[in-house]
Structure 1
Amino acid sequence: MIARCFSLFLLIFLLTSCKKDSPKVPLIEVDGKTGMLAAVNKLREAGCKCGQDTMPPAPLLRWNDTLAIAANVHAKDMFYNNYFSHTDPDGSVPIQRAKAVGYTGGSVLENIANGYNSLTDVILAWKNSEDHCKSMMDSSYKEMGAARANEYWVQEFGKP
């Protein structure tokens, strides 16, 4: 009887003390290929003012799935690990993350944002930030990928 009670106690202890997976938070993701790309290309087509500098129209960007994967990995990493930086906790920077998922281009620019609920709001915030705006308007970059994990947004611009 004592052995049976001990076994039952041990079973209950093991079942209740096992580490549970962290709850899966449903992610809100952006359709970057149609939404984000169209919004950035609209800015590039018209030209815009970035800080004190007037940026002329720039060639339209094309979508790059590999850059989108890099953006998605970084957005989700920031969300799940609760940080906000171009450098991840392991020390990787945008070009390293892009290369790690197979990007073969030579250079990557990254815009990140946090706290915006809509594509319109985040594009406006980046447009109103001189450096972010110039990243979106830089005519030497020809392709982009983008992703969102809840309120964490990432744009990756690449030179093929």
Structure 2
Amino acid sequence: MLDSINSLRQAAGQNPIELDAKLNAAAATHSLDMSLQNRPWHFGSDGSSPVDRIRRIGYEGKLIGENISESYETELETLAAWMDEDTTRWVILAPEARKLGFAWKQEANGKIWWTLVMGG
């Protein structure tokens, strides 16, 4: 995913980004939580927002945005779907983005819950 996003960012004239362990942890927590709630949305079962989740794990940078999805079978299909929408494409190509967290939770039935978190 990181290589694909950096290729898209390079084509758009944006700087590359790096994986961040704290943002990965926030993304993983949210993917699991969405699975447990059985719904894709930006708020956690405890009412937490994306900003709350990155602060909780100690990320001190700025939240650029969070992309979420369910049921896409591959990360490339998920990325393509995000690039088709203005709001999720903006998160991926945001000029101020410097860090990325990415995770998924796959259920036994094959459903996948995706979370991408971009930080500045």
TM-score, structure 1 as length reference = 0.69
State the AA in 2 paired with 1:45: Q
From 106, 109, 113, give the equivalent of 2:69. Answer: 113
What is the aligned-residue RMSD (CA, Å)? Answer: 1.0
Superimposed CA distance per residue, residues 84-129 of structure 1 (whole angstroms, 9 cap, x where no aligned partner): 1101122110010011111111324100011101011001000101
Q: Is the 8 A contact 2:104 2:115 kept in 1?
A: yes
- Could you tell me how far 1:77 is from its partner in structure 2? 0.8
Which runs of at least 4 in structure 1 moved beyond 6 Å after TM superposition? none
Aligned residues between the structures: 115
Match of 1:43 in 2: 8
State the percentage of identical aligned residues: 28
Contact 1:94-1:108 within 8 A present in 2 as well: no
Query: Retained in 2: the 8 A contact 1:95–1:108?
Result: no
- Residue 155 of structure 1 is matched in structure 2 by 116
Q: Give CA deviations for 1:34-58 in whole Å, capped at 9, x if unaligned.
A: xx111111100112xxxxxxxxx10
CA displacement 1:107-158 (0-9 Å, x = unmatched) = 2410001110101100100010111001100011111110011211000000
The secondary structure found in structure 2 opposite 1:79 is helix
Distance in 1, matches of 2:30 and 2:63, equals 17
What is the deviation of 1:80? Answer: 2.0
**2:88 aligned with 1:132:** yes
Given that 2:64 and 2:94 are in contact with CA atoms closer than 8 Å, whether structure 1 keeps it comes out as no
Contact 2:64 2:91 in 1 (8 A): no
The structure with more radius of gyration: 1
What is the DSSP-based 3-state SS (H/G/I as helix, E as strand, rest coil) of the residue aligned with 2:68? strand
Q: Which runs of 5+ in 2 are unaligned?
A: 107-111
Q: Distance in 2 between matches of 1:131 and 1:104?
A: 24
Q: Does 1:65 align with 2:21?
A: yes
Farther off after superposition, 113-122 or 78-87: 78-87
The one-letter amino acid paired with 2:48 is S
TM-score by length of 2: 0.91
